Amino acid sequence: MTLVTKFAARDPGPAARMTGFARHLRDHGLRLGVGETALAIEALCHVNAANPSEARRALKSVFTGCTEEAAQFDGLFDSYWMNGGRVKTRITPTAPNAPNEHAHSTREANAAGDPSDGAGDISAPDGGTGEADANGEGKLVATDIANLFKKDLRDIVRPDDIAEAEKIALRLGAAMRDRKSRRRVAARKGDQIHFRKAIRQSLATGGEPFALPRRHRPDRTLRVTAICDVSGSMTVYSRIFLAFLAGLMRADPRADAYLFHTKLVRITEALRDKDALRALARLSLLADGFAGGSKIGDSLNTFAGTYGRRFVDNRTVVMILSDGYDTAAPDGISDALARLKKRGCKIIWLNPLKGWDGYAPTARAMAQALPHLDLFCAANTLGDLAALEPELARL
Partner 1 sequence: MTFKTLQTAMAEQGYIASGDLAMALHLSLQLGRPLLLEGAAGVGKTEVARVLAAVQDTQLIRLQCYEGLDAAQAIYEWNYQRQLLAIRAASEDGETGRQVEARIFSDEFLLERPLLKAIRQTKAPVLLIDEIDRADEEFEAYLLEILSEFQITIPEMGTITATTRPMVILTANGTRDLSDALRRRCLYAHVPYPDLETELSILVTRYPEITDRLCAQIVGFVQSLRKQELEKKPGIAEMLDFAAALMGLGVADLTDDPAILQASLATLLKTQMDRDAIPTEIAQRLAGKAA
Residues near partner 1 (CB under 8 A): 31, 33, 35-36, 39, 42-43, 46-48, 53-54, 57-58, 60-62, 64-67, 69-70, 181-184, 195-196, 198-199, 202-204, 206-207, 209, 309-311, 313
| Residue 210 near residue 202, CB atoms below 8 Å | yes
CB of 146 to partner 1, least distance (A): 31
Shorter beta-carbon distance to partner 1: residue 31 or 177: 31
CB of 301 to partner 1, least distance (A): 11
CB of 345 to partner 1, least distance (A): 12
CB of 22 to partner 1, least distance (A): 13
Residue 94, classed as helix, strand or coil, is coil
Identity of residue 162: I
Strand pairing report for 346-351 and 375-378: parallel
| Residue 290 near residue 150, CB atoms below 8 Å | yes
Among 11, 65, 12, 13, which residue's Cα sits nearest to residue 36?
65
d(CA 100, CA 103): 6
CB of 276 to partner 1, least distance (A): 25
Classify residue 393 by its DSSP letter.
H
CB of 166 to partner 1, least distance (A): 24
CB of 99 to partner 1, least distance (A): 30
| Residue 113 near residue 96, CB atoms below 8 Å | yes
d(CA 281, CA 270): 9
Shorter beta-carbon distance to partner 1: residue 10 or 183: 183
d(CA 265, CA 257): 9
The angle, 0 to 180 degrees and rounded to 10, between the axes of the packed helices 276-286 and 159-175 is: 90
Residue 176, classed as helix, strand or coil, is coil
CB of 344 to partner 1, least distance (A): 10
Contacts of 111 (CB under 8 A, 6+ apart): 5, 20, 24, 79, 80, 84, 117, 118
| Residue 86 near residue 75, CB atoms below 8 Å | no
CA distances to 60, 136, 371, 373 from 367, rounded to whole Å, are 48, 41, 8, 11
